[in-house]
Amino acid sequence: MRGPTSGVLRLDRRLNWSGRASYDLDNPRRLASMYETVLREATHPEELTRWLDGPTLVRLWPGLVVPPQVRQLWEARFPELAAARRPAA
């Protein structure tokens, strides 16, 4: 995944139909909000790779608010996400 990590972007209407589809990725809250929206709404792998950046996802993962089923599926597929949620020893 090599999605954008800075600047202002506008998600496709299919992903964000609420009217707040514009995201300033330089604003940490809007960046997290965009990731939460994509993780909840994407139905095609291409949407994930277009909008998400792997290292950014790992960094944001512990604080993202996503449904438990989404979290479980992603952590099962990407163990580094589960590891990111564990407190440092």
pTM exceeds cut of 0.85: yes
Q: Which of 17-21, 60-64, 76-80, 85-89 has the lowest mean pLDDT?
A: 85-89
Task: Answer whether residue 88 shows pLDDT above 60.
Answer: no
How far CA 80 is from CA of 16, 20, 43, 58, 72, in Å, comes to 27, 30, 22, 7, 13
Per residue in 37-58, pLDDT (tens digit) is 999 999 989 999 999 999 999 9
Q: Copy the structure tokens of residue 36.
A: 């939460």
What average pLDDT does range 67-89 have in this prediction?
85
Query: What would the two tokens of residue 55 be?
Result: 């290292």
Question: What is the reported pLDDT for 21?
Answer: 74
Distance CA 44, CA 60 (A): 21
Q: To the nearest whole number, what is the mean pLDDT of the chain? A: 88
User: Quick one: 39 exposed, middle or buried, by C-beta within 10 A (0-12, 13-18, 19+)?
Assistant: buried
